[in-house]
């Protein structure tokens, strides 16, 4: 039968919609992940919040349009990130109510290939796993590869 999502799921950092946005950014930093899972008021995954989206919220549009202009902007503040998030909640940082089909989430009994298909379809490095009406954990693409790939020699990849 192969591996199921419930067995592949691991602990993953989450935040609530009404949590402090600055705290959320700190949690992301501490977790060392590219994104957080945002849980809705029902405790189920509401969306995935990529760190890059937090930056989009904080940085002025002209800096995003032309990152070279950041050098001008930078003179004023290395703490723009903190100031931009201060007093905000996670829900303020999100772009809009995500469409239910755009949330990378699977049931605990989903097959590993189903998990892979959701990642591929949504260009997502993370899939949330739910079961019995609650959030169980998440599966990263690296974990999926680690479990799905046929064993071979240890990777020789260059680390730089």
Q: Quick check: 46 and 99 in contact, CB under 8 A?
A: no
CB of 97 to its own copies, least distance (A): 19
| CA geometry: angle 126, 130, 133, nearest 5 deg | 150
Q: What is the CA radius of gyration of the chain?
A: 18
Q: Give the distance from CA 99 to its chain's centroid.
A: 16
- Restricting to residues 2-21, name those near its own copies by CB under 8 A: 2-3, 11-15, 19
- Restricting to residues 68-87, name those near its own copies by CB under 8 A: 68-71, 73-74, 77-82
CB of 149 to its own copies, least distance (A): 6
Contact call for residue 100 and its own copies (CB under 8 A)? no
Contact call for residue 31 and its own copies (CB under 8 A)? yes
Q: Quick check: 111 and 2 in contact, CB under 8 A?
A: yes
> How far is 97 from 80, CA to CA, in rounded Å?
26
Contact call for residue 108 and its own copies (CB under 8 A)? no
CB of 18 to its own copies, least distance (A): 13
Contact call for residue 42 and its own copies (CB under 8 A)? no
Among 41, 96, 99, 123, binds its own copies (CB under 8 A): 123
Among 7, 18, 42, 52, binds its own copies (CB under 8 A): 52
Q: Cα–Cα distances in Å, from 3 out to 10, 26, 91, 143?
A: 14, 33, 34, 12
Contact call for residue 122 and its own copies (CB under 8 A)? yes
Tell me the three state secondary structure of residue 9. coil
Contact call for residue 132 and its own copies (CB under 8 A)? no
Contact call for residue 92 and its own copies (CB under 8 A)? no
């Amino acid at each position: 039968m192969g591996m199921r999502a419930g067995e592949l799921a691991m602990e993953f950092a989450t935040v609530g919609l009404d949590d402090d946005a600055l705290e959320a950014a700190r949690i992301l930093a501490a977790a060392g992940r590219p994104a957080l899972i945002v849980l809705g008021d029902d405790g189920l995954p509401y969306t995935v919040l990529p760190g890059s989206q937090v930056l989009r919220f904080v940085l002025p549009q002209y800096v995003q349009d032309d990152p070279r202009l950041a050098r001008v902007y930078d003179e004023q503040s290395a703490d723009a990130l903190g100031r931009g998030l201060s007093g905000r909640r996670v829900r303020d940082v999100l772009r809009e109510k995500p469409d239910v089909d755009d949330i990378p989430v699977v049931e605990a009994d989903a097959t590993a290939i189903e998990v892979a298909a959701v990642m591929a379809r949504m260009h997502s490095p993370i899939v949330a796993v739910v079961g019995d009406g609650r959030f169980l954990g998440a599966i990263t693409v690296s974990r999926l590869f680690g479990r799905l790939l046929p064993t071979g020699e240890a990777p020789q990849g260059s680390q730089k």
